[in-house]
Chain A
Amino acid sequence: MRKLSFLLVILLLSATQLLAQRTITGKVTSADDGNGIPGVTVLVKGTSNGVLTDLDGKYSINVLKDATALQFSFVGMTKQEIALTATNVVNVVMQSEAQNIEGVVVTALGITREKKSLGYAVQEIGGDQIKGSRESNFVNAISGKIAGVQIKQSSTMGGSTNVLIRGNKSLTGNNQALFVIDGVPFDNSISNTAYVANGQGGYDYGNTASDINPEDIESMSVLKGAAATVLYGSRAANGVILITTKKGSTNKGVGVTINSGVFSTTADKSTLPKIQKEYGGGYGAYYEDPTGYFWYADLKGTGTPQLIVPTSEDASWGAKFDPNIKVIDWVGLDPLDPVNYLREVPWVAAKHDIRDFFENGVKYTNSVAVDGGNDLGHFRVSYTNNTETGIMPNSKMKKNMLSFNGSYNFTKKFSVESSASYVKDDNIGRYGTGYDPGNPMQSLGQWFQANVDIQDLKKYVINPDGSQRTWNYAYYDDFSPIYHNNIYWTRNVNYETDGRNRLFGYVNAQYKILPSLTLEARGATDYYSEKQEERIAIGSNQTSEYNEFLRNFNETNFDLMLKFNKAFAEKWSTTGVIGANSRRTLSTSIYGSTIGGLQVPDLYILMNSKSPVTTTETNYLSGVNSLYGNISLGYNNLVYFDLSGRAEKSSTLPASTNLYFYPSVSTSFVLSQLPGIKDIKQISFAKLRLNYASVGNSAPVYSTRSYYNKLTNWKSIGVFAMPTILPNDKLKPESTRSIEAGLEASFFEKRLGFDISYYKTNTIDQIMPVNISRASGYNQRYVNSGEVENKGIELALNATPIIVGGFSWDIQVNWFQNKNKVLSLYEGVENILLSSAWDISTNITVGEPFGVLRGTNFVYTNGKRTVDADGNYLYAKDADGNLITDAILGNVQPDWNSGISNTFHYKGISLYALIDISHGGSIYSVDQKYGVATGLFEETAGLNAKGKPKRDPVADGGGIILDGVKEDGTPNDIYIWAGDWGGAWLYDYIPTAAYVYDASYVKLREVSITYALPSQIIKKTPFTKLSVGISGRNLWIIHKNTPYFDPETNMSAGNIQGIADGAYPSTRTYGVNITVGF
């Protein structure tokens, strides 16, 4: 580094010597709203000497003494010429032309560009659109608002949100979009275990981009294609969400903004199962009393045995409810409860079921921001506090966010901007996910007795001796929970806690060497430390346990950039950057867990382990050094041509292949500048764009050599195991190549506009661990192989059908379709298994879109499910008569997505409504499979077509007819017995395909009404801004094809999607928000 600083000094000195003239500074503001206009071209008349204004509309230009005037031009604004006088400050107010502004947009590396000059798709949303509904994970608020961005939000409190831009590109790697704040990458790790994604249980700890404070967001632009993101390097192949934060204003003195909101969260009951009310707990007539439905013992000592509910059975195929039958249920079994001991209660359905379990959550969000500035600089400080309770007991999230941003102009040429934010998260009681005792939905929604009342569970949780009370006792004299804990025990005793401290910030120094040349140096760091603690108490149905996970993450980025911006001759302009980046990422973690249970109750420390504690430590250090450059050439505001490239050297690849280069070219052609079209009044603007880009990507850390795994010692004897994944020391970078074409146009003074894009992206030489035959000795090996193609169309339409008086109506429609196809995998491998659970698996299959669901299938006759002579479904078999266990049953990718928003303004009132549509794609439901198999769901009871109870024996007129046809094609009319566990219907005898559903939905995603006090009135108050808003999110699922659950449900963000297991209801949020500025 010493060599480097020496060179820098030389460079700076030599640059300074070239300077001589005087410097004019000033600010260009808009006559419309008084705000600064960024990107205005400031040109010295008669020369090619020019600059662009910065984000605040400020500029600084060196002029020769004989310069006469400055010309200010900006598309959509009337060009102005100001004669130079003795003063060195020239402020300009620009008027709109009849034509509207095409606008400027923040692109990669924080470079502000005229939108019309861009040869690639960028879509923007304003901060107001994101924070409107105060989503605790602001990423959710993007859903439906940007064409090409697919958001899948979690239904757990604080759960992770999947953000896909233009489809899955990497087969097994990370497909999540990169988040960039003010030019600096912001880590969006998802530290969930594979168990969570597979549905095997665990907590969804969310995605770390949720640390971004929506209150600080000024605007967001989404860079979708590789051409737009190439300057960000390898990680940006999945698209970039660029966030520009709010900065202090330089012309208003000090302002204060206070925001306060309160929101309520409720379970959407349309996404909960309906429980039958006719039959109680048991698996059938297998027990002790004469009817076979109950246990039978003389617990009271009366000489006549009492009927006892078979509490060990987690199903509802038991006796038909009859209030005349008196039974001892789980509440009456425990002698430690003398009040209820041996009480006999009528055998009836529970008054309170799953629908009564969920509570109302409350969310408070309060923030205060102070900003100000003058010609020398600006600052903004904000503090936000969010507190939220979930829809289950004992769930709470607290978030405190403090941020500072400021800049100071040391000289006219030298300025420094700095930003720092600190976030502290403290959470308790996240929701357990998947098929796991930590998830109350596993019992409530899959394995449960219809006679067990939620109020009883809430009331009787813990005995005086600290032991658990549950409906699922092993026997009438054995009070250990056999399969399921009391859900309130799960929530209140076996809870988790977690938290994160995060510091994110940068220092950016700018030095204007020449009017057209700026040197910029930036150092940035993103650091956080997180802790997760999980508890399973003694007395639970699993081995008691405490585990703790500590992780530190740190990414540092150093950038040196030389930016230039020059207009020459009358018609040519050029902008560009040449820079270098050095990035280092270090993630260290330690996970410790008790083994064999806890020694003493209620002490949650690792040392309370019965057997020696196990720990797992990681230390992942990687680095990338890069050189990058971009040049953009424009001619006469008509044609723009961009060339970019980046060379990277990555530490994670073998030395022979770790240096790689990738380029991009793009062009923009402003059709509306063409002579013929320019005169057509109806056409306000039209532009054609075209680009090609390639992005390289490096390997996962430490995947090039082999290591042994350490296992628990056998007494004092060390135990190590061979790795199960084969490394590969011949890996080379993977690459993504894309082409894109787009047309955007607006008509009738911008009352109507559209933007359409077509793209095709191919990701090749993917670095991935592929499953191999375990007879090779390994589960997987790293290869460089495979190709995935994503082709898509994105359409954004906007219209303002009505502007009358104070009333206006805006419509914005986004529609996009991404067709994903896996073109090849690896040598003869046609399929990669992503995960499997029971008889369903999620796969990557050649010739199919990413995320194929496979399992057993029906036999179809004329397109209808076919039954055998006994009336049970036939399974599809191959030519040899073997069961096909991997038939393709669906795919997790939607066919298309759309978002339709309508905004109405009337004076200070605005009403916004967003409808979010996803069409196609499949989802498999484990809940349906078991909820039906256990006789819990409504459809397993009631009457059949003959008007007889379905559960009666077929001989007595009961039974059910499975939907379908017989082998001869005639409609199925064979009755089969409904009540047989694992039998006649819906478990062992039904193909996987039965529980694969269409995942389409239409949702009323967001509605908000805002009233802002008009400026005439505000002027008479001490306030500068006063607005009140009412908003709601996820208010109504207008349409879905899944029986109970929300088709959007998922386990975790990531590549494994399409399985609902222990799914929570989706939540509605609504509330009030007040913003005051003074």
Chain B
Amino acid sequence: MNSKIIKTWFLVLIVMVTSCELPDNIDPKRAADVTPDVLVSNSEIALFNLMGSVNVNRNVTRLLAQYQSEVTYVTESRYNFQDRQIPDYHWGVLYRDVLTNLEKAKSLINSTAFADPQEKLNKIAIIEVLEVYSYQLLLDAFGNIPYTEALQGAANSTPKYDDAKTVYLDILSRLSKAVTDLSNDNGSAGFGSADLLYNSNIAKWKEFSASLKLRIGLRLADSNPTEAAKAVQEAITSGVFTSQSNSAIFIYTGTAPYVNSYYQEFVLGNRKDFCPTNTLVDKMKALNDPRMPVWFTKYLGEFVGLPYGKVGASSYSKFSHFTSIPNPVYPVIISDYVEVEFLLAEAAERGMVGVTGSAESHYNNAITQSMLYWGLTQADADTYLAEPSVAYATAATNWKQKIGDQKWLALFDRGNEAWAEWRRLDFPILNPPENMTYNDIPQRMPYPYNENKMNPANYSEAASAIGGDNASTKLFWDKY
């Protein structure tokens, strides 16, 4: 009798359990599918934000290049990378927020049929240029990096590190293909307005990618002169920037969260953390550089630079400040005509094939273009160029110093590129932080602290391959 009830009961329960349907495990509040263009927009924002950021948690290259120094909390100016895990951030943004998104966009494009095959080529090429740029930032910060096994998600969560020399050549060849592929024939566009840098102007993309190739070529000039010369020649043939109007300059909308980092930190965040350095201000004062009032405010009628990397606090009020602070749409320069002219000057000095014009003419034009960009006049530029310490003939004895000093001034506010070129050209002469030596100025970023924990075997191998995971380890292209 009881067993009958229990049997029936079991039946009841099973019916109950099976008839109550379980909910689907699908999130109704997030997108499972998107179009590639929204991912490209995201990648550009993440990439250019990283370049533009002055937040010491995100980008300290303006400190490394000694454009800025900290006022009160001097840890990062004194090369402590650990407390704020700066390498982790740089690495994380580029791999996770930029490259993964670009790769996904690429795979979505590749699985789509296009009526216009050129449109597809353009889209892929734009993505490739952004990827090459991102990889170069990783290579220039760290040295050897995961590349062939990178971005594989669950398939490989401990990617091996590749030799930086080899990766450099690979991104160069990818860039070469992109330069070739980019074409506005038949009016083929790219991502339309989702491309926040150029609004999908293919001609501009083509010039930007050739200019980037010029940059990469010269980065290799000391370590691999053959490939460097080839890249430079090809870049010039493809057509680098010939005026400032096509330069890669990223402009914020001016509406938070898309505002310039100076505005974000100083105005919205109400911080007053850094001032222009004495390295920069003293140099410019010595040269009577007319860009000073464009970039800095005065303290008691004078331009006063904060001693770089000083021990102890300083008073923000006693130094010059950046004029960019109140401007939410202050631009972030990625690559421009000024830089191209400096690169051509160097290529001319190195006697590379394909460069027309003398080193001096490119040098003069680079400086003039910089003056014009910052709202100064041709006359200002001429006066400046007439200064014996600026004039190409008399500025310094060796071309690396002439170009190094002036390029560093012209790369103002572009910490990543300025830090890389300082390492390669060894000029300008920077100021070691108080109680430190010149050799303490970092030659690279230590690998992310996370890598040591999450990818230990490959990390250790890479660390020993590059000669130790230290800030003082020189990168392969930094031969001198």
Contacts and interface: CB of A to CB of B under 8 A. Distances in A.
Contacts of B29: 617-619
Interface stretch (A10-18, A64-72, A369-377): A10-18
A763 to B, nearest CB: 22
A596 B8 contact: no
Given A286-B314, A781-B157, A833-B450, A774 B92 contact: yes
A836 B85 contact: yes
B226 to A, nearest CB: 30
Given A18-B1, A597-B268, A582 B315 contact: no
Given A287-B315, A720-B38, A772-B158, A701 B145 contact: no
A927 to B, nearest CB: 17
Contact size range, A: 35 or more
B194 interface: yes
Given A625-B20, A714-B45, A7 B311 contact: no
Given A596-B257, A651-B22, A772-B157, A779 B92 contact: yes
Interface string B316-354: 111000000000000000000000000000000000000
B17 A722 contact: no
B80 interface: yes
A652 B25 contact: yes
A946 interface: no
Given A705-B32, A886-B452, A776 B12 contact: no
Report the 5 A-B pairs with minimum CB-CB distance, sorted nearest first. A596-B256, A777-B100, A283-B313, A707-B30, A772-B157
Nearest to B318: A288
B312 A720 contact: no
Given A712-B258, A773-B157, A514 B2 contact: yes
Contact of B41 (A315, A719, A988): A719
A611 B25 contact: no
Nearest to B435: A983
Given A596-B259, A702-B26, A980-B312, A726 B270 contact: no
Contacts of A597: 256, 268
A447 to B, nearest CB: 10
Contact of A596 (B45, B196, B255, B316): B255
Nearest to B83: A838
B72 interface: yes
Nearest to A545: B268
Interface stretch (A477-485, A750-758, A812-820): A477-485
Contact of A651 (B25, B159, B194): B25
Interface in A693-743: 701-702, 704-712, 714-715, 717-722, 724, 726, 728
A981 to B, nearest CB: 5
B95 interface: yes
Interface string B247-278: 00000010111110000000011111000000
Contacts of B193: 717
B89 to A, nearest CB: 10
Contacts of A719: 38, 41-42, 45
Contacts of A728: 154
A325 interface: no
Contacts of B88: 774
Interface in B8-26: 8-20, 22-26
Contacts of B104: 722
13 contacts: A18-B1, A313-B313, A578-B13, A582-B16, A705-B25, A707-B31, A709-B30, A776-B157, A777-B103, A781-B154, A885-B449, A886-B452, A983-B312
B13 A627 contact: yes
Interface string B445-480: 000111111111110000000001110000000000
Interface in A567-588: 578-580, 582, 584
A622 interface: yes
Contact of A283 (B25, B72, B101): B72
A649 interface: yes
Contacts of B243: none
A288 B1 CA distance: 99
Given A517-B2, A710-B30, A8 B12 contact: yes
A596 B85 CA distance: 26
B14 A627 contact: yes
Interface stretch (A423-431, A824-832, A936-944): A824-832
Interface in A127-141: none
Contact of B450 (A621, A707, A771): A771
Contacts of A286: 312-315
Interface string A763-797: 00000000111111111010000000000000000
Nearest to A562: B9
A1058 interface: no
B232 interface: no
B457 A543 contact: no
A707 B457 contact: no
B167 to A, nearest CB: 12
B156 interface: yes
A513 B5 contact: yes
B212 interface: no
